[in-house]
Structure 1
């Protein structure tokens, strides 16, 4: 019933035949899934996720969260980054604030009484956020696109930078269309001296049973003079990382999804070894793993992304930053951070 109601009131999404990624009324990855790339039985995957889940996928104690205040943010120096949860990142660049994939909802779900529930509260409430130069979106899945948060941010944000089709969703939800800029892969824009480029990813999209791949999925490159930052959104491992590295790298910091993975869906999500390999393909310096520690979206132990990526990165000599949610990261001089997930403390 919930899906039917959602489909009934879903915003109308335009066709995008000019995009090289568009055909037959949908967006497509350049390489289709190969043998073993996707699960043989989607029903079995859902059964495992909702019924047959192993232990340890949810923290047994409250996670440490460093609370943020508006006064702290107002006093923050330029090139500050704060991880607010999952793939939600608040960055101060060129004297302005930029926010990626803002999800402040209690659940990453089409309904708020069922579905993956947050492990922790956001370090700062929506209404305490400073004015935003732009909200930057990677795709339309529930753990990346929160309609209530976007509506609340409409009065704070000057712009919404989004993939093709996602802007149609936002306009349909009442976001001021004049603020929305939609991008295909490799399209870019300059805002306040920053250059932002929507770059390829290997993923999929959709929020109902009837709108699969009607919107595009992207990663983002942000260039501040010589400083370069990569934000992955969601992606499986593919040759696009090396191409982005060749065309727009090297990167001072890569923010790469490392969580909600499984060998059965490696086509659309990175396994830990692939996280480190993607970072190297991008010619990255510091790696900050995201897409973990907030929602229970897979079958692995919740700490596993941190432990696996750190171990593999250490073997390759890759420096990794693991800030506590709400902790400031100095983009000019990142720090490894403590292993906070090993001994969760009361909030």
Structure 2
């Protein structure tokens, strides 16, 4: 585990994370649209089905940023454990469906003959400037060079802890055929960084890849990478469905009624990855991040057989104790259909079959 000093004044730039210009390219559609496209407000910016989100009062936000400065001294006690994984079993996997937690919202999923990553970040800080930003508690669970051949990547939105350009550039260099699926408006950012295999999708759009279908789906969040591009790029959740397995990636989101619609139209899923951290202070985070109890409800809503926790314990992003999210997640799932067996809290680097 590592904990590097960070200059949290710059965390404001991270939280304000922003996006890119819209791109004209459209994915190849598969079947009829099951969901409406993302709404656009009078300023031409993307918004949520339930309109704009509250990020708390100015006083709440200011006190939060001041506390961020002090967390440079925060202990890493309670951070997730890391298990050794050299990737050899994954590279030699001939068909067993698996999920491996790399850390934060990054999962390596193998199913239906494809290998894909969700929101890949291998950087030590989710920030536009290396070594400045929230600390990484635990190193990635697998080295980039030890990954199996990656067929495609899905990215939920453009905040720096989810769209990490250094990691994306390295992945593109490792395999020029890797396809990067992004929500509408994020394509130019990747192309300007030398990543050409980009497909942009809006909510309701689908694309096919080697017998699987990639669904771009609604979620409740926002986007920003600078001071001027708030909500100019879209955010999304994703479903990858094949003939053998169905996987749902919630991305970064607050709890909303759309989960039930996703479950009704695309469920049941074999595995759903749900975010369980970055929920305090509640007044600032509630609309755009789920707490562990809401994550369990979202998993039930999308009709998944197994829920795997993510978006916790990797970066120092919020006020809740580091060890709290997985404990609350397991407790909330205990008396539901997920129970203890099907509510996964993985170690960093751990692989499980599904």
Work out which of the residue numbers 269, 280, 293 in structure 2 matches 1:273. 293
The secondary structure found in structure 2 opposite 1:144 is coil
Work out which of the residue numbers 123, 128, 152 in structure 1 matches 2:146. 128
The yes-or-no answer on 1:240 pairing with 2:248 is: no
Show the counterpart of 2:316. 296
The yes-or-no answer on 1:13 pairing with 2:21 is: yes
Show the counterpart of 1:337. none
The secondary structure found in structure 2 opposite 1:160 is strand
When normalised by structure 1's length, the TM-score is 0.85
Structure 1 residues 254-273: aligned runs within 5 Å: 254-262=272-280, 263-264=282-283, 265-273=285-293
Runs of 5+ in structure 1 lacking a partner?
332-347
When normalised by structure 2's length, the TM-score is 0.83
Structure showing greater relative contact order (alpha-carbon pairs closer than 8 Å, 6 or more residues apart): 2
The secondary structure found in structure 2 opposite 1:197 is strand
Structure 1 residues 1-347: aligned runs within 5 Å: 13-14=21-22, 20-23=38-41, 24-33=43-52, 37-41=54-58, 42-51=61-70, 58-60=75-77, 63-78=80-95, 79-155=97-173, 156=175, 157-176=177-196, 179-225=197-243, 227-262=245-280, 263-264=282-283, 265-318=285-338, 319-331=342-354
Cα separation, 2, equivalents of 1:164 and 1:89: 22
* Dislocated runs of 4+, deviation >4 Å: none
Show the counterpart of 1:341. none
Cα separation, 1, equivalents of 2:160 and 2:136: 13
CA contact under 8 A between 1:54 and 1:299: conserved in structure 2?
no
Change (3 A) 1:183 1:15: closer
Cα separation, 2, equivalents of 1:54 and 1:70: 32
Show the counterpart of 1:334. none
CA contact under 8 A between 1:58 and 1:302: conserved in structure 2?
no
Runs of 5+ in structure 2 lacking a partner?
1-8, 27-36
CA contact under 8 A between 2:19 and 2:223: conserved in structure 1?
no
Cα separation, 2, equivalents of 1:115 and 1:151: 20
Change (3 A) 1:209 1:150: same
